A and B are shown apart, each in its own frame.
Chain A
Amino acid sequence: MSKGEISTEIILSAEGVSKSFGSVAVLFSVRFNLRKGEVHALIGENGAGKSTLMKILSGLHQPTSGTIKLDGQEVQLPPFGQAEDLGIVLIHQELNLAEQLTVEENVFLGREMVNGLLLNRKEMEQKVQSYLDELGADISPRDRICDLSIAEKQMVEIVKAMSRDARVLIMDEPTAVLTDAETQLLFKQIEKLKNSGVAIVFSSHKLAEIKRIADRVTVMRDGQWIATKQTEELSLDAMAQLMVGRELSKLYPPKNEVDVDAEVVLEVKNLYTDFVKNISFQLRKGQILGFSGLVGSGRTAVFEAICGLGEIQSGEVFLYGKKTQLNSVAQARDAGVAYLTKDRKEKGLLLNQQMQPNLTLLALPNFVKNFLMDDKAEQQATARGIRRFDIRARDPNITAGDMSGGNQQKLLLAKIMEIDPQIVIIDEPTRGIDVGTKQQIYSFIAALAADGMSVVVISSEMPEIIGICHEVVVMYNGKIQGILQGSEINESEIVRYASGLREAS
Chain B
Amino acid sequence: MAEIDLNELSRKPKKNLLSRLDFKTLGPFIAMIVLFIFGYLINDAFINSGNLSNILTRSSFIGIIAVGATFVITAGGIDLSVGSMAAFISGIMILLMNELKTVMEPGLTIIFAGVAISIVLGIAAGFINGFLTTKGKIEAFIVTLGSMGIYRSLVTYSADGGTISLDRGVRKIYRPVYYEDLFGIPIPVLVFVAVAIVGYILLNKTVFGRHCFAIGSNENVAKYSAVNVDRTRIKTYILQGICVSIATIIYVPRLGSASAQTGTLWELEAIAAVIIGGTMLKGGYGRIWGTVMGALILTMIGNILNLTDLISNYLNGTVQGVIIVVAVYLQRGDWKKKK
Contacts and interface: CB of A to CB of B under 8 A. Distances in A.
A and B co-occur in one complex: yes
B213 A353 contact: yes
B2 interface: yes
Give the one of B209, B210, B214 with max A CB within 10 A.
B210
B2 A346 contact: no
A352 B217 contact: yes
Interface of B: 1-2, 5-6, 8-9, 12-13, 16, 20, 201, 204-207, 209-211, 213-214, 217-218, 220-228, 284-285
Interface string A340-383: 01010011111111000100011011001001110000000001
Given A387-B6, A390-B1, A393-B5, A372 B224 contact: no
Contacts of A206: none
A397 B2 contact: no
Given A329-B226, A368-B207, 7 more contacts: A330-B226, A330-B228, A347-B218, A350-B217, A352-B285, A353-B214, A395-B16
A387 B213 CA distance: 26
A351 B216 CA distance: 11
A330 B223 CA distance: 9
Contacts of A361: 210, 214, 221-222, 225, 227
A328 B20 contact: no
Contact of A373 (B20, B210, B214): B210
A395 B5 CA distance: 9
B218 A362 contact: no
Interface of A: 309, 328-330, 332-333, 339, 341, 343, 346-353, 357, 361-362, 364-365, 368, 371-373, 383, 386-387, 390-397, 415
B213 A372 contact: no
Contacts of A347: 218, 220-221, 223-224
Contacts, number: 96
Chain B binding surface SS class: helix
Contacts of B13: 396-397
A481 B177 CA distance: 74
A350 B8 CA distance: 23
8 contacts: A343-B220, A347-B218, A347-B224, A349-B221, A351-B217, A357-B213, A361-B227, A364-B211
B14 to A, nearest CB: 12
Contact of A386 (B2, B210, B214, B222): B2
Nearest to B209: A373
A348 B221 CA distance: 5
B207 A333 contact: no
Contacts of B12: 395-397
Contacts of B1: 390, 392
- Chain B CB within 10 A, most for which of A341, A361, A394: A361
Given A372-B205, A390-B2, A364 B218 contact: no
Contacts of A339: 224
B217 A373 contact: no
A240 B262 CA distance: 75
B284 to A, nearest CB: 5
B252 to A, nearest CB: 32
B210 A357 contact: yes
A368 B222 CA distance: 18
B217 to A, nearest CB: 4
A365 B207 contact: yes
A364 B226 CA distance: 9
A362 B222 CA distance: 8
Contacts of B204: 373
A454 to B, nearest CB: 20
A392 B222 CA distance: 24
Given A373-B205, A392-B1, A364 B224 contact: no
Contacts of B207: 364-365, 368, 373
B9 A383 contact: yes
A332 B284 CA distance: 25
Nearest to B223: A329
B217 A309 contact: no
Given A361-B227, A362-B225, A346 B218 contact: yes
Contacts of A332: 226
A384 to B, nearest CB: 11
A172 to B, nearest CB: 25
A339 B16 CA distance: 36
Contacts of A343: 220
Contact of B201 (A357, A372, A415): A372
Contacts of A362: 225-226
Contact of A396 (B9, B222, B227): B9
